[in-house]
Amino acid sequence: MNFMQALQQRWRQANTLVCVGLDPEPAKFPAHLRDRPDAVFEFCRAIVDATAESACAFKPQIAHFAALRAEDALQRLIAHIHAAHPGVPVILDSKRGDIGSTASNYAIEAFDRYGADAVTINPYLGRDSAQPFLDRADKGVVVLCRTSNPGSGEFQNLVANERPVYQHVAQRVARDWNSNSNCMLVVGATWPAELAQVRALVGDLPFLVPGVGAQGGDVEAVVKNGATSDGTGLAISSSRAILYASADEDFAIAAGFAARQLRDQINLYR
């Protein structure tokens, strides 16, 4: 089963559009974990096990592991997800984008070293920088389009040929890059009007939607503006609001509850 099939199966069988972000910050870990030698892995594994029933995907953020010299923990975490929760795909959030052999090595890093099922990439360098990822037909390629951060419009909203750049990205990915049917777009929950515009441009192409929870995106607006006609087409990502729902020893229980709450809230509007 390839990435897109796995994601679609989770939408249908688990009835969830929640993507659980895994962004470990040891300063926010419960006190009993902070000084443990394998704290990053233990914390993230507990979160994964508590939230898997509510997850359509997991999204570890590579910088949060690399900054802690915890790449080995990331590799073991993805292997744990595949072994303990088969069928829940993993999107490696690394936002890669480079030329030639460098892009090829980034694809090897994401898919072969870490074992991710999909990876986020930056389209700024053009098609050739994306090609090594696109060629992996069984893997997902999640392309930045209209990101959730406050400064994203500095370049993404610039008008070229009578349309903002993010709309050109959306159309190009849907029309030209998706020959293996393995592409998604990143469209932020913080821009509901743009979410609707991108959906109108690309049909049923799936979206990864960051920005709910700590960033303040509105769940109802995301579903109404971004979902496909069958009520799917979205992986709505939440990280901090789930990971750090409690700073006590019940952190995993609280994370599981927060993920179920978000799942149920999303499903109210589908």
pLDDT of 254 higher than 90: yes
Look over the chain and give the mean of its residue pLDDT values, rounded to a whole number. Answer: 96
Condensed to tens digits (0 to 9), the pLDDT of residues 121-157 reads: 999 999 999 999 999 999 999 999 999 888 989 999 9
pLDDT of 214 higher than 70: no
CA–CA gap between residue 123 and residue 67 (Å, rounded): 24
Cβ atoms of 17 and 262 closer than 8 Å: no
pLDDT at 212: 85
143 DSSP β-pair partners: 121, 185
Strand ranges in 161-240 using DSSP code E only, listed in sequence order:
163-164, 183-187, 207-209, 234-238
Condensed to tens digits (0 to 9), the pLDDT of residues 83-120 reads: 999 999 999 999 999 998 999 999 999 999 999 999 99
Q: Check 28, 59, 95, 139 and give the catalytic one.
A: 95
pLDDT at 217: 77
User: If you average pLDDT over residues 198-225, what whole number do you get?
Assistant: 90
Condensed to tens digits (0 to 9), the pLDDT of residues 31-59 reads: 999 989 999 999 999 999 999 999 999 99
pLDDT of 180 higher than 80: yes
Q: Which helix (H) or strand (E) holds 5?
A: helix 3-13
Cβ atoms of 243 and 194 closer than 8 Å: no
Give the closest residue to 65 by CA, choosing from 50, 84, 44, 47. Answer: 44
* CATH for the 3-268 domain, from 3.20.20.70, 3.40.50.10490, 3.60.15.10, 3.40.1190.10: 3.20.20.70
pLDDT at 211: 84
User: If you average pLDDT over residues 161-188, what whole number do you get?
Assistant: 97
pLDDT of 62 higher than 80: yes
Strand ranges in the chain using DSSP code E only, listed in sequence order:
18-22, 57-60, 91-96, 118-121, 140-146, 159-160, 163-164, 183-187, 207-209, 234-238
pLDDT at 100: 86
Cβ atoms of 166 and 157 closer than 8 Å: yes
Rg of the chain over all Cα atoms, to the nearest angstrom: 18
Q: Tokens standing for 57?
A: 């995907």
Read off the amino acid at residue 19: C
pLDDT band at 73 (very low <50, low <70, confident <90, very high): very high
Active site residue 95: yes
pLDDT at 215: 65
Read off the amino acid at residue 194: E
